[in-house]
Amino acid sequence: MKTRIGEFDRVLGGGIVAGSIVLIGGDPGIGKSTLLLQVSDRLSQEGQKVLYVSGEESPRQTKIRGERLGIRASNLLVLSETSLEEIFKELQKLSQVRESSARLMQLAKGTGIPIFLIGHVTKEGAIAGPRVVEHMVDTVLYFEGGASHPYRILRAVKNRFGPTNEIGVFEMKESGLEEVLSPSEIFLSERPENVSGSVVVPSIEGTRPILVEIQALVSQPCGTSGGRFGEADGTEIV
Q: What domains lie within the chain, and their CATH numbers? A: 6-181 (3.40.50.300), 188-237 (no CATH)
Spatial separation of the C-alpha atoms in residues 89 and 200, rounded to whole Å: 56
**Taking the model in full, what pTM does it have?**
0.66
pLDDT of residue 90: 36
Mean pLDDT to the nearest integer, 211-218? 85
pLDDT of residue 224: 53
pLDDT digits 0-9 by tens, 82-132: 887 777 753 343 366 777 788 889 999 999 999 999 888 877 777 777 677
Spatial separation of the C-alpha atoms in residues 43 and 12, rounded to whole Å: 15
Lowest mean pLDDT among 48-52, 103-107, 157-161, 226-230: 226-230
CA distances from 27 to 120, 121, 125, 127 (A): 6, 5, 8, 9
pLDDT of residue 96: 65
Spatial separation of the C-alpha atoms in residues 172 and 61, rounded to whole Å: 19
pLDDT digits 0-9 by tens, 6-41: 999 999 999 999 999 999 999 988 999 999 999 999
Residue that wins the pLDDT comparison between 184 and 224: 184
Quickly state the pLDDT bin for 69 (edges 50, 70, 90).
very high
Spatial separation of the C-alpha atoms in residues 100 and 37, rounded to whole Å: 22
